[in-house]
Amino acid sequence: MALLEGRAAPAAPAPKPAAKGNFVLQIAAYTTSEDAQSRRSKLHQAGVTNAFVEQATIGGKQQYRLRVGPFPSREAAQAAQARLRTLGYDNGFIAAQ
């Protein structure tokens, strides 16, 4: 105990801030880039200009995710999800990036 007298306790690490601006909607996934880009174009024509295609490898296979965003909050992503449902995209989900 005498060895530690006068020494400050080590500082605890600062908590990480909550993620902001990192929410996207994944509304579909396709096996070909052409299918994904075609759907993205249709979304752009419907006024959804922040739609994009993201390539991923899942289980050794290529997948092309049709996503919309990013959004500054989960609430903003939920509002966009409601609008996309009116366009027929019922199976989307919100993902944090």
Q: Is residue 81 part of a domain?
A: yes
* Residues contacting residue 63 through CB under 8 Å, at least 6 positions apart: 29, 30, 31, 55, 56, 57
Question: What average pLDDT does the structure give for the chain?
Answer: 86
The enclosing H or E element of 44 equals: helix 33-45
In this prediction, residue 29 carries a pLDDT of 96
Q: How many domains does the chain have?
A: 1
Q: Is residue 43 part of a domain?
A: yes
Tens-binned pLDDT, residue by residue, of the chain (97 aa): 455 555 555 555 544 444 456 999 999 999 999 999 999 999 999 999 999 999 999 999 999 999 999 999 999 999 999 999 999 999 999 999 8
Q: How much is the pTM? A: 0.75
Q: Is residue 25 part of a domain?
A: yes
Q: Is residue 50 part of a domain?
A: yes
In this prediction, residue 97 carries a pLDDT of 85
The domain of 47 spans 20-96
Instruction: Check which CATH number belongs to the domain holding 47 and give it.
Output: 3.30.70.1070
